[in-house]
Structure 1
Amino acid sequence: MTAFIALAVVVVIVIWAVALYNRLRTSKNEVENAFAQIDVQLKRRHDLIPNLVEVARGYMQHEAQTLEAVTRARGEAVGAADKARQQPGQAQAMGALMAAEQALGGQMGRLMALAEAYPSLKADARMQQLSEEIASTENRIGFARQAFNDQVLEFNNHCGQFPDLIVARLAGFVHMEMLASTQSAQERLAPQVRF
């Protein structure tokens, strides 16, 4: 009888551990899926940038250094996104991605500011269309980042709560990093209107 009770306890513990492991695995898969949504939008933006640079190049012959800086920043962002794609949620990969995307955003802002000085470029239909697509993509990235961060939070909560943390540590599930906004605090401020 005692052996039967011991066997029943072992079976219950195994079933409990398997259920917790499956919940953690599902949560990790949801994080990876959420990052894939960010990745789609990052690829879209990265693919739009060379077209934008080519349109601008025709008008901005004297701004070659700015155009090269945008192209270089795009290359770094693509590389960081590739690494993050392989390890979504991993602190180093997320940090490198945020830094590369922030640098790219800064260069793009500089390009758009310079474009303001070229009325014919500003009026170019392709430039307007590409600018609108990039702005739309930025919004989509923001929504996808929020969904990713929500999934990371849920995963981290599962991994940090007892008794899940026991199974998480035994199975090698580690804390994941959220993806912060690539905009600076100054860029996120609402514009001030003064009369």
Structure 2
Amino acid sequence: MYHLMEGKKCYLRTLREEDAIRMAFLVGRNRHYWSEFEPRHEDAYYTVETQRERIREILIETSKGREFNFGIFDAKTSELIGNISMYGVKRHPFLSAFVGYSIDKDWAGFGYGTEAVRLVTSFGWKKLRLHRIEAYVSPRNIGSIKVLEKAGFTREGLLRELLFINGKWEDHYMYGMLEHDVKRR
């Protein structure tokens, strides 16, 4: 199942096994940058083999309609600059999913994350027919908070000690967007 979504700054497309080399480079290059807000990984995570296996697993989940993972590519150069996923897809009575994303350190702060989130939420409304899309974000991650708010998400609350990241439990804000929030804009 292949998907392509095009924006002005970037485009999203389903990751394929042949993207494993570029994914290994991306995650390796951002290993320390992303580790501030994400759990640290074993060294094997940063290998081409592990990234290829992750892509295979995600493609299986995609075929079941549970998770959709996309590379974020610069529209001008087609360079892989991040990844974004819609995961935890729940059907009726919820019709909901979560969105999560990571942008390369050199591309952060230029609007790519916001555009990618808008593209993937549009996919959620139009292709998956969702009613609600959610995201978790660390209160310390100001850049990601700005991305979600610019993309139209609303802060709905604080989830105490939600995730165990790098040796300690971390609070996270819960952000959400409903399909009729988009229709109102």
Q: Does the TM-score normalized on the shorter chain lie above 0.5?
A: no
Choose 1 or 2 for highest CA Rg.
1
More contact order relative to length (CA 8 Å, sep ≥ 6): 1
The structure with more helix, counted as a fraction of residues: 1
TM-score normalised by L of structure 1: 0.30
TM-score normalised by L of structure 2: 0.31
The structure with more strand, counted as a fraction of residues: 2
